[in-house]
Structure 1
Amino acid sequence: MTGSAGDRAGGDLHGRWKALQLLQPVFELVNRGAPRAGFDHRRYDLPQLALRLIDFVVLNQASMEGSVSPAAIVDHVTLAARRMSPDDEARPWTKVAKLVLMTLLNDGRPHEVLWREPVVNGEEWSEAIPFRFQLLTVTEEIEGIAVKATDQAILIFLQALNTDLADQALALKIMVEIQMSAKEFDKALATARQATRTAQALSASLREKLDDTRRDIRSVDWAGAMPTWLAEVLGQVGQQLDKDRQLRDLARRAGEDPAAAGVCRLIEETVGRGQDVWVRLELFLQQAIPVFLAAQEVQRFQPHGLAAAIDLGAQVLTPALFADDPEFEALVEVLIAGTSPPHVLPQWGLDDLLRQLLREPTVREMRSPDVDDPGELRDTAQDSIPDDIAVCATEILLAAAHSPARLSGILAAGREAGDRVEEPVRLLDILWGAALYVFVNSTEAVSDEQPARPDLAAAIAALVAVEDGTPLEDPRFSGPDLLLASPLAFDRIDAASTADLMGAE
């Protein structure tokens, strides 16, 4: 293994180790907190309750209100614990909920774990590197104390898929379109729900960054990463909403078939909920720059007077209290008289009393709220994957299933086949979205057999994607140059590599 490959492998290992450590509070809850809690913890699935608590906080954080109180969290988890063990005579459901919440909060302190790097024989032991993180934080809101989810909790909400959320949402929506065109409506419904969860996680993450900016502007990288990320997400909002409108129209037309009407209605409702999340996310994006400017003015540009440069206790009060000079004693008496004046009852004059009693009642005029016209958000576009693009993309992806191909090669094949379709750019989008879906959707089972029928959904289902660190060189797309093939083809490559290695030995 070369040095660069070894460093890259070590970085990937460290990243996966961090993702694994995010579940450390859950294991601490099961192994340490539960046996000492004073109730029969074996009747309750505490890890599931912890995940339900994180989901509840993230979903509330993705809404316009953006916060949830500890009492609401306890009520939600208490109800889940009661449904989990309704026949528990001790009725410790509230105690279970409070235990889960307090373990994840950790008294407001970060959880800390240590990364220890192994060394070669004869070398000195390397120092342990601390990794600190928090899943939940407590903040002060106008309504009172609120609980927020951090980016680490949002990763757990998304099954620890550390990918670009906006790109992942778009890839999932393209896959919904492909699955509906293939009449695989059950798979399309599951993919649509995952796309909605991804949009909710993106909204919650943005809300968390804006709250961090209001508290401390230095905690967010407004000089580099944050403006670039905002511009990229804002540029995709219109594309996301257009794709949502296309999917809802496709679901309505597919629902005309009585056999698929129920599933298509659920798909339309799920996509509609995701569409509302993107509309609210656009409002958050429009508020980002004003929030940054206001925080910058308050935290950095606020003028400070002379009092900010004087330590009243160390430089004024302490020397005055312990001095023997009569002038300082007189100064102490003046300070005490000024800081603690006697309590005097208010003195009401007759004219002031009459003015208060006879004043006219004031009515606060409130402007009517601006309500968006639903028609502006629900215009339908008559669009789906054309037949010529579906046939051409299927042929290119089937060729990758027979023989491993890079994403750059697949895109090059799509450009060469551009004269066969009416929309060459649309063909490239379908190929790129299919490759990205295969890469991020690693939980879905993949068949080793070749597809029985040459349609687009079956061609994608037969592929797996591997990232080996090669960057994608393409004028339109960026990211890793994925290697795509069927699992059987990868097995053949591994077997050939092993035979060559044994022959060389």
Structure 2
Amino acid sequence: MRGELVESSVNMPDDGLVRRVKALACTAPLQALEDNKGSLGRVDARPYHMVELALHTIDQVAMAMDFDRGAEHAKVIDQVSHFAAVQVPEQRGHEHRAVAEWVLHKLINIGTLDRGFTWTYGRVDAEGDYSRYDFDFKLLVEHSTSDGQVYLRVTDEAINVLVGALDTDVESAQVAAEYKLEHLITRGRLEDAKLAAEQARYRTVQYGEYLRQYLDATRRDVRTVDWEQQVPTLLEEALEHIEARYRHESAILTNITEHRDGARDARKKQQAAGLVDIVRDCIHRHMQLQTRIQGAGALFREEQDRQQFSGPPQRAAVDVFNQVLVPLLGMPIGAAVVPVADFFRLGVAPAPPAVTSLNTLAARLLTVRTEHSVYAGAVPVPDVRQDADPPRFSEEDQRIARKLIDLAVDETRALSALLSEARAYGSAVERLVLRDAVHAFSPALSETMLRGDSSVLLAVPVAEEIDSPSLAGDELLVSRVRLAAPEGEWDDDGSGDEEFDE
């Protein structure tokens, strides 16, 4: 009996399993940051905790956005750079900023076509069949305003990543979070209360985002939004939500203020002060939400009048894919020829006739034809002046540089000494010597052996700074090393295994 029960439950649809899989999918981009931080070649990103930086980035965007605007890229990068500096204080400032920019671009998913993430999951339908679906989501999106500015906004999935849930009812989550906050404050657990207050604020942001999406859809097309049942119910529930939350948060604010003023421990006083700021921000956001709700009805009536009296479009647009291509692909070739010909005949503009009247025709017929010359005319003389820039290094500079760097076999010179000698001939010779020394740091040994050279120039670093007024870095020892092949390992044609002695 138990085995039959387990088997029957496996074949039944499990919405809870799908919700948990989607919740894990929203955290996959954050985990990918940790796995791929080695790809940030210009900065050593191994000491950074990328998941923490990603959560901090989403947090900064969520707290900066309101109904009209979002977070600015530069300010978000500055805030995340400060957090990165706290993680790895031994790194330099530009490295923290490079890591912050990389994390932000990965959360936006710059480089993809739609800048979104896709996660494939499975679902058991009512018949017991297992099918796979794609879950498309985004974490941070870019929105442009009327003045041409581009701002960042968080999506519902990003907020759910912050609070650790997916598709949670906004109202019930808000009530539960605030009762939990009140209980923690009463018990004096201010550290846990701070986390609960932040979660309540995230839910407030999400509630406002829902309303903003409805209003934006109304501005585009009133018919796409249900203003008869759905939106009025939402507005009524939102007003009740604001009234209850404002009363509740005001009481919480009074309680926190008493904890802050009466605390003797400096840490408790600082935690209480941080809670006061968070709850005040929640009250401010509720006031913004109330203002938008009060203006929602007027916005609907304005958009309804504007869209109703703007008139139908002057020219009906044709959906080429759904109205032309898809039906034609399902038709036989013989039956599809006539619709295709009609489409191109009607879609291509007619060519105007060359002759539009009898006078034009008579004038053309009576025009005397002129004999064209067999020659094309005078051939222009091209300007072959040399306007190219002169070479940067003269032949004399190159000759002197080769002479200085051409060391004898087993002779070793410090790069500082070579540059000091080259500096006497000018900066061009110095740069040529430096170039050859840098190439000698990683010489192409295989090509040297194939050319049959008996020696190669080699440079190795030493544990001291280079002595040069214009350069900084490690000192290099430059030497010419003999290349030799052991006896018996050369073939008759000169090929074979090659070895060299340094």
User: Under TM normalisation by the shorter chain, which class is it?
Assistant: 0.5 to 0.7
CA 1:3–1:265 in 2, change beyond 3 Å: closer, same or farther? same
Residue aligned with 2:109, SS? helix
1:97 — aligned with what? 100
Contact 1:193 1:270 in 2 (8 A): yes
* Cα distance in 2 between the residues matched to 1:102 and 1:299: 38
1:75 — aligned with what? 78
Contact 2:34 2:50 in 1 (8 A): yes
**Counterpart code for 1:169:** Q
Q: Percent identity?
A: 24
CA 1:226–1:271 in 2, change beyond 3 Å: closer, same or farther? same
- For residue 15 of structure 1, report the CA deviation from its aligned partner: 0.9
* Cα distance in 2 between the residues matched to 1:50 and 1:68: 15
2:123 pairs with 1:112: no
- For residue 249 of structure 1, report the CA deviation from its aligned partner: 3.3
2:334 pairs with 1:326: no
Contact 1:137 1:150 in 2 (8 A): yes
What per-residue deviation string (whole Å, max 9, x for no partner) do you get for residues 214-273 of structure 1?
456677666765443332222221111111222233445566755588365555444333
1:235 — aligned with what? 240
Residue aligned with 1:306, SS? coil
**Counterpart code for 1:173:** E
Q: What are structure 2's unaligned runs of at least 5 residues?
A: 320-342, 358-502
* Cα distance in 1 between the residues matched to 2:236 and 2:289: 13
What per-residue deviation string (whole Å, max 9, x for no partner) do you get for residues 16-47 of structure 1?
11111112222333334642544322122222
CA 1:80–1:291 in 2, change beyond 3 Å: closer, same or farther? farther
**Counterpart code for 1:101:** L
- For residue 52 of structure 1, report the CA deviation from its aligned partner: 1.5
- For residue 185 of structure 1, report the CA deviation from its aligned partner: 5.3
1:200 — aligned with what? 205
- For residue 160 of structure 1, report the CA deviation from its aligned partner: 2.5
- For residue 180 of structure 1, report the CA deviation from its aligned partner: 4.5
2:448 — aligned with what? none
1:473 — aligned with what? none
2:19 pairs with 1:11: no
Contact 2:69 2:145 in 1 (8 A): no
Aligned-CA RMSD value? 4.2
**Counterpart code for 1:286:** Q
What per-residue deviation string (whole Å, max 9, x for no partner) do you get for residues 416-475 of structure 1?
xxxxxxxxxxxxxxxxxxxxxxxxxxxxxxxxxxxxxxxxxxxxxxxxxxxxxxxxxxxx
CA 1:288–1:49 in 2, change beyond 3 Å: closer, same or farther? farther
Q: Which moved more, 1:297-306 or 1:225-234?
A: 297-306
Q: 1:128 aligns with which of 118, 125, 132?
A: 132
**Counterpart code for 1:233:** A
Contact 1:157 1:201 in 2 (8 A): no
What per-residue deviation string (whole Å, max 9, x for no partner) do you get for residues 358-413 of structure 1?
xxxxxxxxxxxxxxxxxxxxxxxxxxxxxxxxxxxxxxxxxxxxxxxxxxxxxxxx
* Cα distance in 2 between the residues matched to 1:32 and 1:150: 23
* Cα distance in 2 between the residues matched to 1:8 and 1:285: 42
**Counterpart code for 2:355:** P
* Cα distance in 2 between the residues matched to 1:80 and 1:45: 10
* Cα distance in 2 between the residues matched to 1:310 and 1:193: 49
2:254 pairs with 1:249: yes
CA 1:10–1:327 in 2, change beyond 3 Å: closer, same or farther? farther
1:156 — aligned with what? 161
Contact 1:69 1:147 in 2 (8 A): yes
* Cα distance in 1 between the residues matched to 2:261 and 2:36: 55
Contact 1:58 1:204 in 2 (8 A): no
* Cα distance in 2 between the residues matched to 1:226 and 1:238: 18
Q: Which moved more, 1:236-245 or 1:270-279?
A: 270-279
1:141 — aligned with what? 145
2:312 pairs with 1:304: yes
Residue aligned with 1:39, SS? coil
CA 1:94–1:316 in 2, change beyond 3 Å: closer, same or farther? farther
What is the 5 A alignment of 1:312-391? 318-320=348-350, 322-327=351-356
Contact 1:134 1:152 in 2 (8 A): yes
2:91 pairs with 1:88: yes
CA 1:224–1:34 in 2, change beyond 3 Å: closer, same or farther? farther
**Counterpart code for 1:160:** A
Q: Which moved more, 1:124-133 or 1:104-113?
A: 124-133
Q: 1:40 aligns with which of 44, 49, 57?
A: 44
Q: What are structure 1's unaligned runs of at least 5 residues?
A: 329-505
User: What is the TM-score of this pair, normalised by structure 1?
Assistant: 0.53
1:486 — aligned with what? none
Contact 1:213 1:295 in 2 (8 A): yes
Could you say which structure has the larger radius of gyration?
2
2:383 — aligned with what? none
Contact 1:166 1:199 in 2 (8 A): no
- Would you tell me which structure has more helix in proportion to its own residues? 1
User: What is the TM-score of this pair, normalised by structure 2?
Assistant: 0.53
CA 1:85–1:296 in 2, change beyond 3 Å: closer, same or farther? farther
Q: 2:62 aligns with which of 58, 61, 74?
A: 58
- For residue 136 of structure 1, report the CA deviation from its aligned partner: 1.9
* Cα distance in 2 between the residues matched to 1:111 and 1:69: 22
1:274 — aligned with what? 282
What per-residue deviation string (whole Å, max 9, x for no partner) do you get for residues 327-377 of structure 1?
49xxxxxxxxxxxxxxxxxxxxxxxxxxxxxxxxxxxxxxxxxxxxxxxxx
**How many residues were matched structurally?**
323
CA 1:248–1:70 in 2, change beyond 3 Å: closer, same or farther? closer
Contact 1:136 1:149 in 2 (8 A): yes
* Cα distance in 2 between the residues matched to 1:300 and 1:7: 51
1:408 — aligned with what? none
- For residue 137 of structure 1, report the CA deviation from its aligned partner: 1.9
* Cα distance in 2 between the residues matched to 1:265 and 1:82: 24
Q: Which moved more, 1:148-157 or 1:76-85?
A: 76-85
CA 1:218–1:69 in 2, change beyond 3 Å: closer, same or farther? farther
CA 1:224–1:109 in 2, change beyond 3 Å: closer, same or farther? farther
CA 1:30–1:212 in 2, change beyond 3 Å: closer, same or farther? farther
Contact 2:18 2:123 in 1 (8 A): no
Residue aligned with 1:155, SS? helix
* Cα distance in 1 between the residues matched to 2:92 and 2:248: 52
Q: 2:291 aligns with which of 256, 275, 283?
A: 283
Residue aligned with 2:165, SS? coil
Residue aligned with 2:14, SS? helix
Contact 1:78 1:93 in 2 (8 A): yes
